[in-house]
Structure 1
Amino acid sequence: MTEYIIVGAGSHGLSLAYHLVKKGFGKNDIVLIEAKRIGYGSSSRNASRYRYHFYSKENIEFALNAIEYLKRQVKELNYNSLLIRTGYLWILENETDYNVFKKLDNLWRTYNIGGKFLECNNYDYLKFDGECYLAPQNGAFHHDYILYSYYYEIKDKISIIFDEVKSLIVNNGKIKGVKLSSGKEVNGKNVIVTAGAWSGIVLSSIGINVPIFPEKKEIYITEPLKYFIEPLIIDSSKQIYFSQTLKGEIIGGIEDKREYKFEEFSISIYNTIKYLKILKNLVKGINGLGIMRGWSGYYEMTPDNSHVMGYSNSWPEGLYIDAGYSGHGMMFAPYSGKIMADLVADNYKNVFIDIFSPSRFELHKLINETLVI
């Protein structure tokens, strides 16, 4: 019987496996199970940004720890993750936006991450003369280099199975392993579900309800231009966000509220045209610019837009989860993997395990996070 079964080979599953390997565990101890391919879900379908600036104290404090760990971690990994500080710039279209950010700025200053209000025309490429809010501490990285740094570091040191987990196996109140779609059973003392948007489905196989729901999101990338947009720009009123890659492509997306459900990974021509139209109404000098490519993926949403990690006391012994990051998962993966490895291997319970526990949904102790981009 193996010690640890990790369900899902995205950034969180790979980070967990990586940190367990660092603790001395190996092929006989760790089995990583993936239904499709490495990074199939949200880990390879995101915009690769990091930020400290959230609405809730819980997520701010988690981000403060997670990003400092991210900065240390990328120095340790084999591939250059292209971590760069670029800032986030919110366009404040109305008095309501301004008042919200005035309140948030006061909160952020208590954590030494206050930004500044400034006229948007300081950015001469923006077609907006009103107020903006700059948070200069935030930035970008390249998700694939983090993802595959983890994978190539551990792939020969653990066991990896490509198959779908159909159900968890429980006996006498303890986890005993998983049953695969091939009919094979893998026995293990601990099962950690890191399956992103599919995590709720895995847990529901034994009647556990964790409210994690898939919300399809699309990202669009233009032809490259000379690099001139440094921050990630967010305009909530126009429901768009965008920035530039170091190559010069303008990358971003629009708000497109959908029913929570699994859908085909495709992009909408209508939304692509809408994104480009809004972009050209906000940015000078890009008439004639075309979309080069795009992709879609899932935000793994929870009722309070915050992640779920650890376990519930009502669960079978040895069952854990790390999922539900509501669009914030990639930047948190290195730190979350360490927290989970410390928990399952050393029984060390980081303070965030209780804060983001799945038990909060049963106890009605939701985290009030509204600043989802």
Structure 2
Amino acid sequence: MRLSLVCAATALGLLACGAPLAGSLRRYSYGPPAPARPPGCPLAVIPGPAPGPGPTIQPLAQVQCSYEVDSDQGLCRDEVRRLACSVGADSIAGIVESPGLVQAEAVRAVQPPPRVASAPPLVPSNPPVGAPEPLPGNPPVGAPPPPATRIGGPRPLPPRGNPPVGAPPPAVRTGNPPSPPPPLGNPPVGAPPPAVRMGNPPSPPPPFGSPPVGAPPPAPLGNPRPLPTGPGLAPRPAPMPGPQLTQGPLPPRPAPMPPSGPPVPPPPLPPDPGLVVPLTLGRADVLAGMVLVKNQVQFCLRQDNITEAVTVAVEIEGTGRVVAAHVEGAIAGTSTASCVEGAVSRAMFRRFSGRNITIRYPFAPGTAPAANATRLPTN
């Protein structure tokens, strides 16, 4: 998708005019698409490289915008945010800002699926048909007791009505009925009263740490025990004298000794490697400059279904800027070649002090820049 802006009204009501901008996005298929959000939606910025797909993060698309004038970089940032909102993102990560290009990854946070606890297996109440009978032994824990079995057959019940002939008459209870049990808390009738302790109550135990009754008092801590003396013991040495305090000013300090020879200057600091300008560019310098435009070149090749490597002749001046870029091969002069040349023209390299150099650099669609770039002689 290409977007051309000549004069566009900004969100603050101002009129901004600039060179054409190109915004594009490439959707991912890591999950279901998210609903689009309105332009200007709030987006969080995740520092560092773009995170991969996980249980709590879903990459949605790669959004980017290219510009030709440095003053349009802010408009390109707004275009990247607008594209991220259009795919339903709530954050952007992996932001890459190079001369002429603003690129980021549109992601959104997702909730992990809740964990459902598995139910215990159901135990059938009745055993299945054909199941083996349990071995005799102790019943399992929690099983009901087996029914009681009467030994010797059932006992016959006596007939209802008159008692049998010759049976003794039923016993009849005579006298007073038994008295009910006494209520709880009252002593039984006729029980002796509880014993009552006479005299003073026992004294409480002494507090912890106090000396027992009748023990001699402890010796005072302020008076040390005298040292033993006798004819066979050496006399106690006299105490060492302490420092004496004097009144008056302190004595002057001695003057420092002058140096015996000339002063030695400190060694010079080594030059900063970042300030040293090389004579020409090395292989690492060329790779570092081409990495900044790799994604834009691959985007140009993929949108026109170019599957073969493309070689670009690039002329670089001493300031590190690209003077000219020309695509070689079958696609020279096509719209794809113009897209690739415009992307390579925005590359920036390290400064060098020599003359302009020209290199031939191959780009493969969908892969990193090749490391076998060759240099042509300067025209």
Q: TM-score, length-normalised on structure 2?
A: 0.19
Structure with higher Rg: it is: 2
